[in-house]
Structure 1
Amino acid sequence: MDLFSNLENEDDNRKTKLGQTEIEYIKSVGILTEAKGFMGTYDFTLNPYSGCSFGCNYCYAAFFARSTDEKDNWGKWLKVKENALQLLIKWRKKPLLNKTIYISSVTDPYQPIEKELELTRSLLKELLNYHKPRLVIQTRSPLVTRDIDILSKFDVVQVNMTVTTDSEDVRRAFEPICPSNKARLKAIQEITESGIQTCITMTPLLPVQNPNEFVKELLSTGVKKFIVQPFHPDKGKFVASTRELAIEQMRKMNWDDSKYKEVVEIFRKELPSLGEGKQGFAPI
């Protein structure tokens, strides 16, 4: 099933612009999706947005976009489910007590526009006040620290911060619009120090310049849990015109399966807890 198939007809929806991203405000049919596939160990996934302003050139979610145009322009469009809170409120009749929910599976819940809209924040408040589920929040945005006041009140919650490399050059090549590595590490450290369970997800792991120094950076955040996945540009579900670019970037950076395994071996020796792939993403 198309992961974006719970969106209604969008012909009459409002549109605005934020930087290079066209923002469209839509009415969605649903806000909770039964978790399947890679996230199948959860009960539901929750995506306040579809599309993504960050537009990482390797993003698997682009593959599930509804049209070739949306795939080709991944990172340049974002759809805001402006009725998301109203849809979640309907679940009060059947509270989500102890249900496992992953936020978010095909977008980042802390898009740049979230700072203005506070859509994810409103959903977290609703979940806290009326449902008490078990949450995992996945993001690469330091904006998540804004919601520490809410997240700290959940009985079971984990914030996952995606950090894919130790190199700003690599980060700019693959994630040019994303926050810096330094900003992400600082944010997850702040969340950890607030007493919230945290995890750093190196998914996928992009070329690493100095694995030993990277380990020191990771450990300095206070995070105890880590997840890693390999990056295979020859097998990845890249959007149109990005596969060859990604492969060429990997060649220039001299990164292959053997280098990945070498770095992961260092991680296994130095990091307190390291999960790999689907098993690492299991609900808390």
Structure 2
Amino acid sequence: MTDQLNLFGESPKKSSLGKVNIEYKLAGSILTPASGFMADYDYTLNPYSGCSFGCTYCYAAFFSRDKSKMDTWGEWITVKENAIALLRKKRRKPLIDKTIYLSSVTDPYQPIEKDLMLTRQILEELLAYHKVRLVIQTRSNLITRDIDLLKQFEALQVNMTVTTDSEKVRKVFEPFCPGNKQRIKAIKEVHLSGIQSCITMTPLLPISNPSNFANELLSTGIERYIIQPFHKDKGKFVRGTREEALKILNEYNWGDEEYQRVLNIMRQRIPNLGIGKTGFAPI
């Protein structure tokens, strides 16, 4: 049957992306009724489970179904191979003015997307048969590949996560992500293409120079910003990174007091700074 077809082969299979294990599985659903932090949306949409960016603090690790998956966060990806078939079922009753957050527990533009183009196919399906209000969350410059599609949505916002101004900090907490300047350059390109854009400092990691950082962000021309604190006691640290991460946090004296100091500076320069959940409201 069509709904069981694997877009990437005849049957579920495993492969690898460097040291990342990739598994292809049939998902029961592709649109999940939003709840919790994303409760203001109608649905969340995750083309993948897991994420090879493997950020050391990622809350999504705690949504893993078993402890081994949690402990190896960043080392595995599950591809929802029937994602497009599931969306095609929605053609019977198109999604009109539904708010969708892409994605809540993975990055839709992580490295595997460059080859599989699953997120791109999802965008094409949404454009062709639905009329949704879409927010895309990523920390990857790969999103610029899809500017041609993004421009066609009537209601869409791209959120780019930029958590620090320091490559030293970034390499400890986000070792497999694109660098800060790559992300800023990418979201500026998206913005200059006429696409509504936002920079999310979520969570805000140690900052070397808050004033310069704010100026660099503002130089993109973007007007929407969201910020959240980093909680070192709640964050997940990938094996082997905790000691180095805590060392960096101590080096910057990064706690509630220092975060508040930086936040006050950022507020002075970015008056329309969204704080926490309210900043993530649907468009």
Identity %: 63
Equivalent residue number for residue 36 of structure 2: 37
Q: Give SS of 1:249's match.
A: helix
Equivalent residue number for residue 128 of structure 1: 127
Scaled by the length of structure 1, the TM-score of the pair is 0.93
User: What RMSD in Å do the two structures reach over aligned CA positions?
Assistant: 1.4
1:105-124 map, 5 Å: 105-124=104-123
Q: For structure 1, list consecutive stretches of 5 or more residues without a partner in the other structure.
A: 1-11
Q: One-letter code of the match for 1:251? A: N
Q: Give SS of 1:203's match.
A: strand
1:1-284 map, 5 Å: 13-236=12-235, 246-284=245-283
Q: CA shift at 1:263, angstroms?
A: 0.9
Q: Give SS of 1:133's match.
A: strand
Equivalent residue number for residue 8 of structure 1: none
Q: For structure 2, list consecutive stretches of 5 or more residues without a partner in the other structure.
A: 1-10
Q: Distance in 2 between matches of 1:195 and 1:272?
A: 22
Asked if 1 retains the 8 angstrom alpha-carbon contact of 2:172 and 2:244, the reply is: no
Asked if 1 retains the 8 angstrom alpha-carbon contact of 2:107 and 2:139, the reply is: yes
Q: One-letter code of the match for 1:221? A: T
Q: CA shift at 1:240, angstroms?
A: 6.8
The range that moved more, 244-253 or 41-50, is 244-253
Q: Give SS of 2:207's match.
A: coil
Runs of 4+ in 1 over 2 A off after TM superposition: 235-249
Asked if 1 retains the 8 angstrom alpha-carbon contact of 2:134 and 2:156, the reply is: yes
Scaled by the length of structure 2, the TM-score of the pair is 0.93
Q: One-letter code of the match for 2:75? A: K
Asked if 1 retains the 8 angstrom alpha-carbon contact of 2:12 and 2:24, the reply is: yes
Q: Distance in 2 between matches of 1:71 and 1:241?
A: 14
Asked if 2 retains the 8 angstrom alpha-carbon contact of 1:60 and 1:238, the reply is: no
Q: CA shift at 1:188, angstroms?
A: 0.2
Q: Give SS of 1:169's match.
A: helix
Q: Distance in 2 between matches of 1:74 and 1:132?
A: 34
* Distance of aligned partners of 1:41 and 1:238 in 2 relative to their CA distance in 1, 3 Å threshold: farther
Q: One-letter code of the match for 1:71? A: M
Q: Distance in 2 between matches of 1:237 and 1:183?
A: 25
Q: CA shift at 1:236, angstroms?
A: 3.1
Q: Distance in 2 between matches of 1:67 and 1:238?
A: 17
Q: Give SS of 1:190's match.
A: helix
Q: Distance in 1 between matches of 2:88 and 2:200?
A: 31
Q: Give SS of 2:135's match.
A: strand
Q: One-letter code of the match for 2:273? A: L
Q: How many residues align?
A: 273
Asked if 2 retains the 8 angstrom alpha-carbon contact of 1:49 and 1:107, the reply is: yes
